[in-house]
Amino acid sequence: MASKQVLAVLLSLATALLPFAMTTDIIVGDENGWMPGFNYTEWAASKVFMVGDNLVFEYSVGDHNVIPVGGEEFKACNATGATKVFNTGHDVIPLKTTGKRWYLCGIAGHCQGGQKLVINVLPAASPAPALSPPAQTSSSNSIMKYTYRMVMVIAAVIAIMNGR
């Protein structure tokens, strides 16, 4: 078989199994939680967000909140038109569809102080992350997903070599 065909077979096998992958709770900011003065853009660059994952915002009740907004509102730190506000201190937001999501804190000055998060949600079965190593070794989330996919690919290789 040509190597491209082999790759295609491996990817489809691996991705076929991915919908059964575990849901990951992704704690926004990791141990820093949800606060101003933290670079969530940099943080998000070391993560993989996939349909089926949960975003979890952790903070002291009353100190912050979480408001989903659009891209323009995100840029302008403008939540005046927002319809939904999360404020439990432990907000679990399921990522149900692919594409960009924008969140900011609506407490005065916090968004301007960096308390804003934009992510790109990948399909649950996306093979893309399997082809490139995790961006940063500090991300247990990426390493976990990367390792999981590599195990799937290796299992597929073994299955093919056994003629199954």
Ligand X SMILES: *[C@@H]1O[C@H](CO)[C@@H](O)[C@H](O)[C@H]1NC(C)=O
> Is the Cβ of residue 105 or residue 152 nearer to ligand X in the bound state?
105
Which residues 115-134 are close enough to bind ligand X by CB under 6 A?
A: none
Single out the segment in contact with ligand X by CB under 6 A; choices: 10-18, 28-36, 38-46, 90-98. 38-46
Quick check: 152 and 18 in contact, CB under 8 A?
A: yes
Q: Is 114 one of the binding residues for ligand X (CB under 6 A)? A: yes
At closest approach, how far in Å is the CB of 95 from Cu ion? 21
| Phi/psi at 113 (5° precision) | -85, 10
Task: Please list, in sequence order, all residues whose beta carbon lies within 8 angstroms of the beta carbon of residue 68, skipping any fewer than 6 positions away.
Answer: 82, 84, 93, 101, 102, 103
**26 three-state secondary structure:** strand
Q: Which of 60, 39, 164, 42 is nearest to 107 (CA)?
A: 60
Q: Which of 17, 21, 27, 76 binds ligand X (CB under 6 A)?
A: 76
82: tokens are 């927002």
Q: Is 139 one of the binding residues for ligand X (CB under 6 A)? A: no
Nearest residue to ligand X on Cβ basis: 81
> Is the Cβ of residue 94 or residue 109 nearer to Cu ion in the bound state?
109
> Is the Cβ of residue 15 or residue 65 nearer to ligand X in the bound state?
65
Single out the segment in contact with ligand X by CB under 6 A; choices: 18-26, 35-43, 116-124, 153-161. 35-43
> Is the Cβ of residue 110 or residue 149 nearer to Cu ion in the bound state?
110
At closest approach, how far in Å is the CB of 141 from Cu ion? 23
> Is the Cβ of residue 135 or residue 159 nearer to ligand X in the bound state?
135
Q: Which of 47, 16, 12, 34 is nearest to 122 (CA)?
A: 47
By DSSP bridging, strand 67-69 and strand 49-50 are unpaired
Q: What angle do CA 18, 57, 34 make, to 5 degrees?
A: 130
Binding site for ligand X (CB under 6 A): 39, 41-42, 73, 76, 78, 80-81, 114
